[in-house]
Amino acid sequence: MNRFDYVRAGTVAEAVQAFGAGARFIAGGTNLIDLMKYEVEKPGRLIDITRLPLDRIEDQGNGLRIGALATNAKVAYDDRVAERYPLLRNAILAGASAQLRNAASTGGNLLQRTRCYYFYDVATPCNKREPGSGCTAIGGMNRIHAIFGTSEHCIATHPSDMCIALAALEATVQVSGPQGDRSIPFSEFHRLPGDAPEQDTNLAPGEIIVAVDLPESRFPQHYTYLKLRDRLSYAFALVSVAAALEFDGDRVKTARLALGGVAHKPWRNREAEALLEGKPATRQSFQAAADLIVAEAKPQSENGFKIDLARRAIVRGLEQAAAGTPQSLSDKRIQ
Amino acid sequence: MRLENQPPVSADTPIGITLTINGQRRELQVTPWTTLLDLLRERLDLTGTKKGCDHGQCGACTVLVNGTRVNSCLTLAVMKDGAEITTVEGLAALGDRAGSNALHPIQEAFIEHDAFQCGYCTPGQLCSSVGLMNEGHAHTRDEIREAMSGNICRCGAYTNIVDAIEDVMQGGAR
Amino acid sequence: MTQTFSSTGRDTFVGTPRSRIDGPAKVTGLAKYAGEFAAPGLAYGTVVSSSIAKGRIAAIDSSAAEAVPGVLKVITHENRPRTAWRDKNFQDAVAPPGSPFRALYDDLIVYSGQPVALVVAEDFETARYAASLVRISYERQEPVTDLKAVRGDAYDPPMKREGIKPPPAPWGDADQAFGSAPIRVQGGYSMANEHHNPMEPHATTVVVEEDGTYTVYDKIQGVSNSHQYLVNVFGLKPDQVRVLNPYLGGGFGSGLRPQYQAFLAMLAAQELKRSVRVTLTRDQMWSFTYRGEALQTIALGAGPDGRLAALRHDAVQGTSTFEDYQEVIVNWSGVLYRCDNVALTYRVAKLDTATPGDMRAPGAVTGVFAIETAMDELAYATGLDPIELRLRNYAESDATAQGKPFGSKELKSCFTQGAERFGWAKRDPEPRSMRDGRELVGWGVATGIWESMMMQSSAIATLTPDGRLTVGNSTGDIGTGTYTILTQIAADTLGLPMDAVTTKLGDTRLPEAPVAGGSWTAASSGTAVMKACRNVGEQVFKLARAMENSPLANVDVDRAVFADGRISVAGDPGRSVSLVEVLQAARIDKVEAVEQAGPDKDFNQKYEAYTHSAIFAEVKVDEELGQVRVTRVVSAIAAGKVLNPKTARSQILGGVVMGIGSALEEESMLDHRIGRFMNHNLGEYHVPVNADIYDIDVIFVDEEDKANPLGVKGLGEIGIVGAAAAITNAVFHATGKRVRDLPITIDKLL
């Protein structure tokens, strides 16, 4: 871990003001300190934002505003979240461990960096860590890597579970920065790697996440977060599916699907969602949507199985959502 | 000392913080890159808290910060200024027979159910168990197993760990 | 608490469930591990690891590291202090043949992650930071780490590793018999590279004492091995070094050999003349030893009745370029089954990796997975129940040892009792025939086997006038419960309560004992402790008889009964004297004895000794999504006498859990382009977590064995052996898919 200055900010403005080249905001620290110990992150300054008054969860019109410093555990166990946004609760509780969720913040969760082995290992080239050095994952150990939206520069995935639910719920990210405040629709928050894989998000330098807004609840019954991984808990997703359905009689009025573990950002396909809408919820229609989504997939040398797994997981996720039988967090039998 | 509105603390200046560790208030000077785990183990000789991975991937370093279980390896000490920390060395005092030198019921239950072998993950398992009970979300065996999955035991004592926690939750091992 | 001194038949504590006596220390955090001992002026060392797998160091620039305030020294191959240079000085007690790795010896890089520098500083954080500033440039060569690519270059190791039986010469003609067998099963099997990953990373604290001697706390499964290593490497006199390790945070074989952090800590302590600690990072736990994958092929030929006509088992395993690591992979097939035509071969191939090492049931885990999976395939090919097939081919003697009988073998009871407990009779053998809701249910069975060994071991027993008994030797309690069982044995032998006994381990000032491994510790150290206690008892008895007006006057030693802290006369309990009275009357401060115990040569000439198990597994598989859950395991163990059913059960539970890891999760992934394990952390190398583990039921079947006076055969390994095959077989039963390459991850079932 490198040497750095430490600033404890008392207000958002102070935090933004303390920002400069090489600085990082720190809240839960569960990913940043991890990366600093590996010398992947070497900030010259840490700006401690944990004392900012940003940990509240409050009603906001018909929606809910989640303060950026609310811990993952606080959000997951909030009664309003449980009642109105159970998809978010389930996604959060499918990730990490109880200890990590007690420390990790909402804002930090959005900024989690990829778990690509090569990104983490400074002995190997990585374009995300050192732009221009090359991507070692291509042609290497890429069983866990992306099948959607990859580039020749980077095939890493976004690791968060919570963000997959936020993508499906069409949350909005509220940020504050040197240029003032702005809102970023969730779908525009994370980026695809393209030719600048070092940028995970569209946050501008010095911008700080202050809140995540959830729109009016529409999926309190027909939802699921289905996560497939290499062990039954405490592992990142190979493929995960956040599915949410709103019904009009026996027909799907609104469908939302977001996939985790398969792309550099939560992966959505509006066409596939549209394909489900206005029709009865049948396995056939779920399969058609799944086929449409995976048609875009591009396998790497070792992760071709993810295409098939994603297709099957989408269908099962939609079945769970339609039936109102969301995946249990503790009973590992898949519904 | 409040650090808010103060100029940045430069890299080679230790920072004064106050921590209450196992009930004892301590004024400490720490460098900002010192984790709570290393502070406990290397500076305060509280080696009960273990370093298994140093990256939040094993749970051996679990302590209670203001009653909540967290990974002390991913916690900078300076950021916890003012907090109450409980480590395995302070668990007995959390039991309801303070001052009697008796073990916390979960400690007794771990011995009774043989919920450890090498003992290295044990302090983390114990603090995590107490944190789990403080949280109050886990009730069934399945829920306990899921909620304890952030604590790896390579000796494989998992079933006994769940037995021990269940026992204490049902009022046993006292 | 009654013990007829001349017999071992009446146990008070031995054989009863007892909580670990080290429990209170471990649950309060007071138990100290190697990297936790403090010393005045302790300096901290951080290891810099090679980023390439093969080549040489072109240049090292440590100036930036040295410039950091608080850095005491950066040691590299260029400036390292002189130590012994001959590689044989680096050969530890369990080293395989070859030239052991010598850290910082020269500029050659022979594996990825090899230590290339040690940064020593006043505090941990400074050492860690400065280590990141050491700049190294390499001349890189192409590494070879793909075993499949060098399979053709595999060779029969010219020097055999001590204690590892090479495959026996073939008997009959396996190939011809296979060719003409009516029913044939043939396949290739592999397991992934695995890393031990004990929860405690390897660490060594070297304390420089005021008199210039060294007290070394080393993470090792037996301190005598570290002691010998340090003495030889650094050219010290034996009494200049004391090595201790009272607690070990998990070994599983990773702590059998002294590792480079011990060498580096000692090197720095000598150079700086101050106490130094070196602790490896979790990632560096991928930089010394591992369970090397093996490529295996098996060919089984049988008649329609299932009787084996041909058995061929071939294995190729990787080793390093500098040592010929060897383990027993294929022999088990010849031990387990009766067959007239058998060929077993084992070869190794050189890879640019660290030397593989023993990991819990080394070789057996690997080989038994293959043969027990193949036997399940044969069961389906013949239409026989898998247990029935095994019973039809049941070996009553060891064909790999010229047909010597087994000292004991209650494997049939394991099958009977295990099947009963598991409910095996309710199994529909048809694959895909059993369901629970959406999930397919599969039941599989396999045999486990491990060698039962005893090693030369010594122990001390000391009785003091306060009535306390202290026993011990230099072996380690690696979580197995050795402190507890030795206390039970000692208490029973002298008729004392357990809390009157103190057991000390892991200190080279205690009589020498081997590393704790191979499941031999209970037999070896247990017998030595029992003998030392008996010797003490005989001495005390003599003193008692010599007392004025002794109640034991004219009594023979074989009529002495040690119970409740007293010696009394068998059949005449009114005549007795307490041990405390005897020592006080004799006015001596202690009665002490050191005894040796070793294998029974007569027994070993007549018999072969193995532990056995039958392991049953239930899996539930989501067919569409490939998720496997091991919902139920029954492990029935035949391992002689069980000294402490509570800690013994835990041994088996732990073996089963690690077996579930092997079967479903564990895989160190080598990027062969750069010769580096890439998932070198506990987030991406998956070991089982609590949610992965459901019900595990352990049965100990009665088995009487006479290889040692305690009747124990060892438990540390047997729990894991066969677990992977039972799960593989259950997955086949559930899904109809035969997976022969472990681990069975989701992608293999889609």
Q: Residue C509 sits in a domain of what CATH number?
A: 3.30.365.10
Contacts of A315 (CB under 8 A, 6+ apart): A283, A286, A287, A290, C624
Output the pLDDT for position B94.
Answer: 85
Residue C349 is which amino acid? Answer: A
Which of C194, C377, C618, C717 is the catalytic position? C717
Contact C646 B114 (CB under 8 A): yes
Cross-chain CB nearest to B142 (options A2, A36, A331): A331
Quick one: closest CA in A to B67, which residue? A102
Contact C750 A39 (CB under 8 A): no
Structural domain contains residue C146: no
Output the pLDDT for position C84.
Answer: 74
Which chain C positions have a beta carbon within 8 Å of B42's beta carbon?
Answer: 44, 123-124
Cα R_g (chain C), whole angstroms? 27
Contact B48 C30 (CB under 8 A): yes
Q: Which two tokens stand for residue A6?
A: 């430490």
Contact B54 C281 (CB under 8 A): yes
| pLDDT tens readout for residues C79-120 | 999 887 788 899 999 999 999 999 999 999 999 999 999 999
Which chain A positions have a beta carbon within 8 Å of B145's beta carbon?
Answer: 233, 330
Output the pLDDT for position B97.
Answer: 56
Task: Find the mean pLDDT for residues C117-131.
Answer: 98
Task: Find the mean pLDDT for residues C730-746.
Answer: 98
Task: Find the mean pLDDT for residues C471-499.
Answer: 97
pLDDT band, very low/low/confident/very high, at B1 (cuts 50, 70, 90): very low
Does B137 contact chain A (CB < 8 Å)?
yes
Query: Whole-angstrom Cα distance, residue C478 to residue A15?
Result: 49
Does C466 contact chain A (CB < 8 Å)?
no
| pLDDT tens readout for residues B41-85 | 999 999 999 999 999 999 999 999 999 999 999 999 999 999 999
Output the pLDDT for position C200.
Answer: 98
The single-letter DSSP state of residue A71 is: B
Output the pLDDT for position C2.
Answer: 42
Contacts of C602 (CB under 8 A, 6+ apart): none
Q: Is 70 exceeded by the pLDDT of residue A268?
A: yes
pLDDT band, very low/low/confident/very high, at B115 (cuts 50, 70, 90): very high
Which chain B positions have a beta carbon within 8 Å of C26's beta carbon?
Answer: 116, 119, 122
Does A140 contact chain C (CB < 8 Å)?
yes
Contact C746 A117 (CB under 8 A): no
The single-letter DSSP state of residue B76 is: B
Which of B94-98, C94-98, C319-323, C733-737 shows the lowest per-residue confidence on average (mean pLDDT)?
B94-98
Contact C282 B55 (CB under 8 A): yes
Domain span including residue C503: 2-28+454-598
The single-letter DSSP state of residue C285 is: G
Burial C728-743 (b: 16+ CB within 10 A, else e): bbbbbbbbebebbebb
Q: Is 60 exceeded by the pLDDT of residue C542?
A: yes
User: What share of chain C in percent tops pLDDT 70?
Assistant: 99
The single-letter DSSP state of residue C186 is: E
Output the pLDDT for position C53.
Answer: 98
Q: Are C514 and C457 in contact (CB under 8 A)?
A: yes
Contact B8 A29 (CB under 8 A): no
Contact B156 C201 (CB under 8 A): no
Query: Whole-angstrom Cα distance, residue A285 to residue A322?
Result: 12
Cross-chain CB nearest to B75 (options A4, A29, A45): A29
Output the pLDDT for position C6.
Answer: 44
How far is the alpha carbon of C74 from chain A, nearest alpha carbon, in Å? 17
Which chain C positions have a beta carbon within 8 Å of A123's beta carbon?
Answer: 51-52, 112, 676
Does B92 contact chain C (CB < 8 Å)?
yes
Contact C669 A141 (CB under 8 A): yes
Cross-chain CB nearest to C681 (options B55, B151, B159): B55
CA B98 to chain centre: 19
Contact A232 C438 (CB under 8 A): no
| pLDDT tens readout for residues C670-691 | 999 999 999 999 999 999 999 9
| pLDDT tens readout for residues C228-260 | 999 999 999 999 999 999 999 999 999 999 999
The single-letter DSSP state of residue A280 is: B
Query: Whole-angstrom Cα distance, residue C34 to residue C359?
Result: 21
Which chain B positions have a beta carbon within 8 Å of A14's beta carbon?
Answer: 4-5
Contact C674 A141 (CB under 8 A): no
Task: Find the mean pLDDT for residues C191-211.
Answer: 98
- Beta-carbon count within 10 A of A221 CB: 13
Contacts of C510 (CB under 8 A, 6+ apart): C460, C472, C473, C474, C504
Structural domain contains residue C20: yes
Range(s) within chain B of domains with CATH label 3.10.20.30? 15-90
Of C188, C450, B76, C575, whose CA–CA distance to A8 is shortest?
Answer: B76
Structural domain contains residue C60: no
Task: Find the mean pLDDT for residues C489-508.
Answer: 97
Candidates B54, B61, B114, B165: best to mutate against C (most CBs of C within 10 A) is B114
Q: Which two tokens stand for residue A104?
A: 């990790």
- Beta-carbon count within 10 A of C321 CB: 16
| pLDDT tens readout for residues A166-219 | 999 999 999 999 999 999 999 999 999 999 999 999 999 999 999 999 999 999
Q: Give me the CATH code for the B15-90 domain, please.
A: 3.10.20.30
Sheet containing A208-214: give its strands across. A57-60, A63-67, A208-214, A172-177, A180-185
Which chain C positions have a beta carbon within 8 Å of B149's beta carbon?
Answer: 689-691
Does A312 contact chain C (CB < 8 Å)?
yes
Which chain B positions have a beta carbon within 8 Å of C199's beta carbon?
Answer: 50, 52, 58, 60, 118, 120-121, 152-155
Cross-chain CB nearest to C31 (options B31, B119, B150): B119
What is the helix (H) or strand (E) element at residue A80, kind and residue range? Answer: helix A79-84
| pLDDT tens readout for residues A136-148 | 999 999 999 999 9
Half-sphere exposure of C152 (CA within 13 A, CB side): 1
Candidates A4, A120, A230, A325: best to mutate against C (most CBs of C within 10 A) is A230
Does B158 contact chain C (CB < 8 Å)?
yes
Q: Is 50 exceeded by the pLDDT of residue C24?
A: yes
Of C156, C176, C159, C178, whose CA–CA distance to C167 is shortest?
Answer: C156
Output the pLDDT for position C86.
Answer: 81
Strands C695-700 and C566-569: unpaired
**B139, C369, C652, C667 from C120: Cα distances, Å:** 48, 45, 41, 33
Q: What is the mean pLDDT of chain C?
A: 96
CATH 1.10.357.10 holds for B100-169 = no
Set out the domains of chain A in order of their start, with CATH numbers: 5-50 (3.30.43.10), 223-323 (3.30.390.50)
Active site residue C717: yes
Of C320, C282, B95, B168, whose CA–CA distance to A121 is shortest?
Answer: C282
Quick one: closest CA in A to B35, which residue? A33
Contact C691 B41 (CB under 8 A): no
pLDDT band, very low/low/confident/very high, at A106 (cuts 50, 70, 90): very high
Structural domain contains residue C299: no
Query: Whole-angstrom Cα distance, residue C250 to residue C204?
Result: 15
Structural domain contains residue C242: no
Higher pLDDT, C10 or A232: A232
Cross-chain CB nearest to C650 (options B45, B58, B157): B157
How far is the alpha carbon of B2 from chain C, nearest alpha carbon, in Å? 25
Please name the chains neighbouring C, where neighbouring means 3+ C-beta pairs under 8 angstroms.
Answer: A, B
Task: Find the mean pLDDT for residues C57-67.
Answer: 98
Q: Is 80 exceeded by the pLDDT of residue A9?
A: yes
Output the pLDDT for position B174.
Answer: 46
Count A/C contacts: CB-CB distance under 8 Å. Answer: 104
Does A99 contact chain B (CB < 8 Å)?
yes
Cross-chain CB nearest to C199 (options B45, B118, B145): B118
Contact C745 A39 (CB under 8 A): no
- Chain C stretch 410-429, residues whose beta carbon is closer than 8 A to a beta carbon of chain A: none
pLDDT band, very low/low/confident/very high, at C4 (cuts 50, 70, 90): very low
Which chain C positions have a beta carbon within 8 Å of B52's beta carbon?
Answer: 199-201, 282, 682
How far is the alpha carbon of C564 from chain A, nearest alpha carbon, in Å? 49
Query: Whole-angstrom Cα distance, residue A167 to residue C649?
Result: 48
Query: Whole-angstrom Cα distance, residue C204 to residue C258?
Result: 10
Output the pLDDT for position C85.
Answer: 76
Query: Whole-angstrom Cα distance, residue B81 to residue B2?
Result: 10
The domain tally of chain C equals 1
Which chain B positions have a beta carbon within 8 Å of A10's beta carbon?
Answer: 2, 4-5
Quick one: closest CA in B to A10, which residue? B4
Residue B159 is which amino acid? Answer: T
Output the pLDDT for position C369.
Answer: 98
Q: Are A198 and A131 in contact (CB under 8 A)?
A: yes
Task: Find the mean pLDDT for residues C476-499.
Answer: 97
How far is the alpha carbon of C738 from chain B, nearest alpha carbon, in Å? 27
Query: Whole-angstrom Cα distance, residue C451 to residue C400?
Result: 13
Range(s) within chain B of domains with CATH label 1.10.150.120? 100-169
Quick one: closest CA in C to A38, which residue? C132
Of C596, C318, C610, whose CA–CA distance to C447 is shortest?
Answer: C610
Please name the chains neighbouring A, where neighbouring means 3+ C-beta pairs under 8 angstroms.
Answer: B, C
